[in-house]
Every structure is written in C-alpha cells, then in structure tokens.
Structure 1
Amino acid sequence: MPITSRLLDHTCIPHKANQQGLPVIGTHPTQLPKWIVDDTARNLHSNPESLMNRRKILFGLAAVCMAPEFVYAQAQPPAGQKRASGQFTTGSTSGGVSLYQDGDHWAVYLETDFDHEGSPDPWVALGQNGFRRDAIIGELVEFKGDQTYPIGPKLNASEFNEVYIWCVEHNVSLGRARLTWR
C-alpha cells in the first residue's frame, strides 16, 4: 500500500490536552507509527527521490495536524456580515452570540463575554424553536471568551432562531440564546 494512503489514516495522534483536559489532536515526531519509520528506512538506499517525496508528505501532513487553527476554534470575529445575534439567558452559560455570513459560508461566533461554567461533553448547536440533533456544529473548545464555529454546508443557517450549548452525553441544554435577525 502506498505511504500516502496509509498516512491519511494514521497521521493525527493525540499527544496533549487543552485547558479542559480534552485531547488535542496533532502529530509529535516521536509518536509516529512504527510502519512510517520502517517504510522510510527500507527505501533510504533503494530510491532516494521517493524518500524525499515521502518526507515532504509526512512533514506536510504533520504541520496540518499541528496547526492551531485546525485544533482550536478561531478567536476572532469571522469575515462577513453579522446576520443575527442574541444572548445566552438559560442554563450555566452567559454572554453574546452572533451568526455571520460571508458569501455561502456561515459561522457561529461566541462573543468575548461568553462564559460557560463547565460541564461534561459541551457542544455548540443550532435550533429552531428547540434543539435539533442534526444541527450540532462543533465541540465547545473553551469555556470562556470568543470563539468561531463554522456552520457546515448541509445546514441552512437562515432557518435557525437559536444557538445552544448542548451536553451530548446527558442530552440536556447547558444554555440557549434566542437569535434576533437583522
């Protein structure tokens, strides 16, 4: 099997935790699977050009897995126009939330005053007069401060009027914000 197809399945390895103790995915050079090291060593003398290509692929994928913007939610307002906003008023969550649109791309932005008191398994989700399981958009990365969560293309953001912080483990709301559209 070519190394590129195997790398895509095995490159990202947990090696540290964020502030909540959740695993952060990345590749630490000392934690690469043994088959990568063995495959590289076998090809060292037989095909040096192939070895260089494999190194480029390996280090490129490692860099992508370790890039902070792929591991943590971005901590800045997203590009585009603010289309809706609201305040978390229920549960253990407070602060502002906004929906931004940039062309065909939508994002949920948790404002700088966002504060969640902590809970197991919190996720960011959208709702329409109630929580919708098909509208969970990302695991909550930080309990405080601004964060951006992109809304996938399968969801039509303009159909929603609420943002939730939802505990998937216990299937309960940890906070709800009613959105006011502009």
Structure 2
Amino acid sequence: MKRRFGRFLGILVAGMVATSLAIPSFADMMMSGKTGMLSGFPGHNASGKASISKDGMGKTFLELTGIKVDKVPDGRVYLAKGGDYKKGIELGKLEQFTGDVRFPIPKNTMLDDYDSVVIWCKKFDVGIGKATLGMSGMK
C-alpha cells in the first residue's frame, strides 16, 4: 500500500511539474517571429537585425544581432508603436554598440501593441536607430 501511494505521489508530482513548464502558445510563437532591420535616423548610423524571441523557459527577449550603432552617451532601447519611443516601453540602456545584444521584455507585455524598435539618446533627445518589426515566420 505504501509503495503504491509513493509511486502515485511520484507520478502526480511529475505531472504537476510537466504541466507547469512554460509551453508557448501559437500566438506567442508567431510573435517571436517578428524581425526587422535597423536603420539610422537622419545624421546617425545604425544597422543590424532586431528580433523578438523566446527562450526554453518562456521568457521573451528583444535581440539585436550584428549591430553597428553610433556611440552615444545615453542610448536607450525601446519597444515602440509606430516608431515613436514615447508610445513604447524602455527595455534598457544600450552599452554595447557592435555585435549582439539581448534585452528581456517584461513578462506581461502585450507584444501585439508594438511594431517597432527605437534606439534613442535621452541626453541629447535624438533618435539613433529604428527597425519596423514584421513577420518572418516562427522561430
């Protein structure tokens, strides 16, 4: 009897753990396929790829890959609407201006609300780079 209960308890716990793992929904998988190419605002240089991705734990990230961005003293990265950083959320400070950078996107962010990425210099109140996010397929 104790053996059966122990086995049952083990199966129950294993099932609970398996169902609590983050399994992305179809909508999440589609959103994680959004990508765009960075370009500079007038007078500034920015290039590279911006994409939204999910890791195996269900956390969502903005990934900037192969970037080359003008160095600015207070560059901030935003997930934006219509290319307007004021209609977006700040993801973090850009401290690396070449290569690959990853910013976590807050858990309850409604990704459908945003269609672009903006790199903005707060100190000089000027846009540095932007990318319009479009679908590239599931990732």
Q: Is contact 2:85–2:118 with CA below 8 Å preserved after alignment?
A: no
Identity of aligned residues (%): 25
- CA drift of 1:130 comes to 2.7
Q: Is the 8 A contact 2:91 2:104 kept in 1?
A: yes
Q: 1-side partners of 2:91 and 2:112: how far apart? A: 15
Structure 2: gaps (5+ residues)? 1-27
Q: Which aligned segments of 4 or more residues in structure 1 are displaced greater than 6 angstroms?
A: none
Quote the Cα distance in structure 2 between the aligned partners of 1:169 and 1:155: 26
Answer yes or no: is 1:90 the counterpart of 2:40: yes
RMSD: 2.1
Matches within 5 A, 1:106-117: 106-111=60-65, 113-117=66-70
1:101 maps to which residue?
Answer: 54
Indicate the SS of the match to 1:158: helix
TM-score under structure 2 length normalisation: 0.65
1 or 2, which has the higher strand percentage?
A: 2
* Counterparts of 1:88 and 1:137, CA distance in 2: 16
Amino acid at match of 2:39: T
TM-score normalised to the size of structure 1?
Answer: 0.50
| AA in 1 matched with 2:33 | R
Q: CA 1:154–1:168 in structure 2 vs 1: closer, same or farther (change >3 Å)?
A: farther
Task: Name the structure where helix makes up a greater proportion of residues.
Answer: 1
Q: Which of 113, 116, 123 is residue 162 of structure 1 equivalent to? A: 116
Gaps of 5+ in 1: 1-79
Q: Give 3-state SS (helix, strand or coil) of 1:118's partner.
A: coil
- Residue identity opposite 2:37 in structure 1: Q
The aligned residue for residue 128 of structure 1 is 81
Count of paired positions: 102
